[in-house]
A and B are shown apart, each in its own frame.
Chain A
Amino acid sequence: MLGAGMDTTTFTKKTLGLETVEPALTPPTGNAPAFTKKPKLGSGKSRTKKREMPEGLWTKCPTCETMLFDKELDENLKVCMKCNHHFPIGSRERIHSLVETCTFEEMDAAMSSVDVLHFKGASTYASKLEAYRKNTPLKDAVVTGLCRIGDQRVALGVMDFNFLGGSMGSVVGEKLTRLIERGTEKGLPVIIISASGGARMYEGMFSLMQMAKTSAALAYHAQRGLPYLSILTHPTTAGVMASYATLGDLILAEPGAMIGFAGPRVIKDTTQAELPPGFQTAEFLLDHGLIDAIVSRQAMKAQLIAYLEFFTAGKKAAAAQ
């Protein structure tokens, strides 16, 4: 049953230690999972790209090269105070930044992936899953639940790039489909925040079919006249782009996010052509007509509330007539 096993999760704001995620447009390869390059939480050892200082830890902004005090960076939702560069942010922190305190009821928190194909690569899928579960606070690449944003009840799904590059396998597809179905049943708006390298190849065709599954659920959600907002964050690509990420009534993006279908290297190799400046960024796609608005992380919550009010106000006014 869809409704079974809903857990209430409370949040404490904390850093996940994941600020050095490499942008990737293909599913992460995996010989060396991204997190192994990163220090363990709480380990006092020196960090890459960081200078140890007596007062605390600092991060260098890749855009403006300013040294940013970690605590301030966290308080600023991992956005550079100087140049507005958006650092990657974990799903839990993002949820905390958007929803009203203690209103997030997580769905399907215990769902996790299985190695259905017994995939044999350079290393096995099973061992990879194991490693990510151990080294991140996550069970898979999406967190879903019902919550309140402003006065609005919302079905919210937030992808997390830190788990296997945010790749979409059966768990991501199933959790999002249940979320959308719940939204349809309860007449709630759906918001999905994407960050993904695409379909998870370790689950083969099961991954591809999650594109059809989530899109089909959105078809019925849309048929009920309910709003769906898709938010694209760095990076959102491939199979996720070719399904729910581009089906929003509104498609929003964070500044500077890499967004596209095919990876730039694949495009270059296939076409032997130079890529235009700013290709596959949020700004490029705004100029080319895909994205409704680019919204910075700090402004996102207020914007979502405003958009949702327009959607519901129109319906209410029409119903009152």
Chain B
Amino acid sequence: MKHQLDFEKPVVELQNKLNDLRQHPEKHSLGISFEEEIRMIEEKLEETRRQIFQNLTAWQRVQLARHPKRPYTLDYIRHAFTDFHELHGDRLFAEDRAMVGGFARLGGHRVVVIGTQKGRDTKENILRNFGSAHPEGYRKALRLMRLADKFDLPIVTLIDTAGAYPGVAAEERHIAEAIAVNLREMTLLKVPIIAAVIGEGGSGGALGIGVADRVLILENAYYSVISPEGCAAILWKDRANAAKAAAALKITALDLLKFKLVDEVVPEPLGGAHTDPAAAAANLKQHLLQNLEQVLAQSVAERLQTRYAKFRAHGHFVEQTESTANGVVPQAAT
């Protein structure tokens, strides 16, 4: 098993040892039985996992969110949804394969599912542009969301992108406008929208499909206004300080939940979603369904009002009038 992160190494080594022993039972140590030895390694593995993964730093979680083996949007669509029919194109300029979408079933519900899609290898990454969409991706997403709204199909969005693509063509075709229009239009769609950050929640590129009735985030995913590297480059003039920036920006699932910037954290298997993609997908499915059913139970008016109020409430500031400026403690508002 390749691709391990530094802090995953002890776990991966034990796992390799276990696999090796299972394949070659004759190698087992003298003095104890084969079964005994397997059980001992398994226990050690569990203990090591617990030690490492119960107290991850923000930066370690960012690394897990970017893990090359982490399940991507289409993996979750495959495992948590059924009957997926992909739909292509923005009807304006192009088909953007960094943004996928189409009809699917989630449990008993027919929905439209949309998400940013990374590539698993170099070839696919070129096709998917490393999961960073051009304006066409956001316009395709909006086209599919309007389709969903017209035919009363709930919308599920899966977010996993380092950010919208910073390129000449993206600027020439107004990527900022494409994202902005999505923010405005998603506010008014009548159908339920459930968004889940499954890996990287990279700034405006993530928010561009992230205005929703419920915003979920996987335990090791992150959601940030700027990449830790970008923040480090600005604040410390050195991208090597990304770990410090990740901590300062408060971008982990638990931090975001504490600040009420997300509604729910979806637990991952111990060791990260990539260690058991099927279990990760099962968790996600359960949380998506539960939230979808709650939002479906609302009237359209109540749903839109609640959606507006949720985003309206984000922000911290103080309001001092001249008379309270001296001495009186200003009131914090949320």
CA–CA, A212 and B315, complex, Å? 11
Q: Restricting to A97-115, which residues have a CB under 8 Å from any CB of B? A: 108, 110-114
B270 at the interface (CB under 8 A from A): no
Tell yes or no: A121 within 8 A of B by CB: yes
In the complex the two chains form, is B234's CB within 8 Å of A26's CB?
A: yes
Q: Which residues of A contact B168 (CB under 8 A)?
A: 267, 271, 273, 275-276, 279
Shortest CB-to-CB span from A24 to chain B, Å, is: 10
**Cβ-defined contact, A114 with B223, below 8 A:** no
| CB-based nearest A residue for B325 | A110
Chain B positions 199 through 211: 1 when the CB is less than 8 Å from some CB of chain A, otherwise 0:
0000110011011
Q: Interface size for chain A: under 10, 10 to 19, 20 to 34, or 35 or more residues?
A: 35 or more
CB-based contact A177/B312 at 8 Å: yes
Report whether A209 and B322 are in contact in the complex, using a CB–CB cutoff of 8 Å. Answer: no
Give the contacting residue for A212; candidates B167, B223, B311; CB below 8 A. B311
Which A residues are in CB contact (< 8 Å) with B173?
A: 288
Within 8 A of B (CB), among A191-231: 199, 201, 203-213, 215-220, 222-223
* Given known A-B contacts A199-B225, A211-B204, A267-B168, A247 and B174 have beta carbons under 8 A apart: no
Distance between Cα atoms of A192 and B184 in the complex (Å):
16
Could you tell me which residues of chain B, from 166 to 215, have a CB within 8 Å of some CB in chain A? 166-168, 170-177, 179-181, 183-185, 187-188, 203-204, 207-208, 210-211
Given the interface pairs A261-B164, A261-B171, the reply to whether A30 lies near B235 with Cβ below 8 Å is yes
A280–B176 CA distance with the chains assembled, in angstroms? 12
- State the Cβ distance, A138 to closest chain B Cβ, in Å: 14
Cα of A223 to Cα of B208 in the assembled complex, Å: 20
CB of B91 within 8 A of chain A?
no
- Bound CA–CA A244/B187 (angstroms): 14
| Pair A260/B171 contact, Cβ less than 8 Å | yes
The answer to whether B226 and A247 touch across the interface, beta carbons within 8 angstroms, is no
> Is A70 engaged at the interface, CB distance under 8 Å to the other chain?
no
B320 pairs with A110, CB closer than 8 A: yes
Chain A residue nearest to B319 (CB atoms) is A111
* A158 CB contacts on chain B under 8 angstroms: none
Contact with A along B298-329 (1 / 0, CB 8 A): 00000000001001101111111110010000
Cβ of A41 < 8 Å from any Cβ of B?
no
| B259 sits at the interface (CB 8 A) | yes
Q: Judge whether B174 and A288 touch: CB under 8 Å.
A: yes
* CB atoms of B314 and A210 under 8 A apart: yes
Per-position binary interface string of chain A over residues 134-171, scored 1 when its CB falls under 8 Å from any chain B CB and 0 otherwise: 00000000000000000000000000000000000111
> Which A residues lie within 8 Å of B207 (CB)?
208-209, 211-212
B248/A266 in contact, CB under 8 A: no
In angstroms, Cα B334 to Cα A83, docked, is 47
Q: Which residues of B contact A261 (CB under 8 A)?
A: 164, 166, 170-171, 175-176, 204
B225 and A111 form a contact (CB under 8 A): no
Q: Which residues from B are CB-within-8-Å of A213?
A: 311-312, 314-315
Q: Are A270 and B181 in contact (CB under 8 A)?
A: no
Cβ of A120 within 8 Å of any chain B Cβ, yes or no, is yes
Q: Are B184 and A262 in contact, with the CB atoms below 8 A?
A: no
- Which residues of the other chain, B, contact A113 by a CB distance below 8 angstroms? 317
Whether, in the assembled complex, A239 has its beta carbon less than 8 Å from a beta carbon of chain B, the answer is yes
Q: Would A170 and B315 count as touching, CB distance under 8 A?
A: yes
A218 to B314, Cβ gap below 8 A? Answer: no
Q: Check A307 for interface membership: any CB of B closer than 8 A.
A: no
Interface centre among A203, A212, A213 (most CB of B within 10 A): A212
Interface status of B256 (Cβ within 8 A of chain A)? yes
B126 CB to closest chain A CB (Å) equals 13
A293 in contact (CB, < 8 A): no
**In the complex with contacts A213-B311, A219-B184, A112-B318 CB distance below 8 A:** yes
Asked whether, in the complex, the Cβ of A290 is within 8 Å of the Cβ of B225, the reply is: no
Docked pose: A26 CA to B232 CA in angstroms: 12
- Complex CA gap A261/B134 in Å reads 12
Q: Is the CB of A205 within 8 A of B250?
A: yes
Q: Within the assembled complex, what's the spacing in Å between the Cα atoms of A212 and B208?
A: 9
Interface flags, A264-283, vs B, CB<8A=1, else 0: 00110011010110011000
Complex: how many Å from CA A210 to CA B185? 16
Contact between B166 and A114, CB atoms less than 8 A apart: no
Cα–Cα, bound, A243→B184 (Å):
8
Assess the B250–A204 pair: CB atoms within 8 A: yes
Are B171 and A262 closer than 8 Å at their CB atoms? yes
Tell me whether A204 and B174 are in contact (CB under 8 A). Answer: no
Q: Is B261 interfacial (CB 8 A cutoff)?
A: yes
From the candidates A5, A207, A263, A288, name the one contacting B225 in the complex (CB within 8 A). Answer: A207
- Contact indicator B311/A116 (Cβ below 8 Å): no
Residues on A with C-beta less than 8 A from B187 are: 212, 215-216, 219-220
Residue of A nearest to B188 (CB): A219
How far apart are the CA atoms of A245 and B174 in the complex, in Å?
A: 12
B204 pairs with A117, CB closer than 8 A: no
* B244 CB to nearest A CB, Å: 8
In the assembled complex, the Cα of A121 lies from the Cα of B210 at a distance in Å of: 28
| Bound form: Cα–Cα A222–B180 in Å | 14
Residue numbers in B under 8 Å from A116 (CB-CB): 259, 316
Most chain A beta-carbon neighbours within 10 Å: one of B167, B226, B317: B317
Contact A204 B315 (CB under 8 A): no
Kindly list chain B residues whose C-beta atoms are within 8 Å of the C-beta of A27: 234
Q: Is B7 engaged at the interface, CB distance under 8 Å to the other chain? A: no
Q: Please state if B316 and A170 are interface contacts (CB–CB under 8 Å).
A: yes
Q: A209 near B249 (CB under 8 angstroms)?
A: no
Any A CB within 8 A of the CB of B144:
no
A-B contact pairs, 23 of them (CB 8 A): A116-B316, A174-B317, A177-B312, A199-B225, A201-B231, A205-B224, A205-B259, A206-B261, A208-B207, A209-B314, A216-B312, A218-B184, A246-B176, A246-B181, A261-B166, A261-B170, A267-B166, A270-B167, A276-B168, A279-B168, A279-B171, A288-B173, A290-B174
Contacts from A to B (Cβ < 8 Å): 5, 26-27, 29-30, 108, 110-114, 116-117, 119-122, 169-171, 173-174, 177, 199, 201, 203-213, 215-220, 222-223, 238-239, 241-247, 260-263, 266-267, 270-271, 273, 275-276, 279-280, 285, 288-290
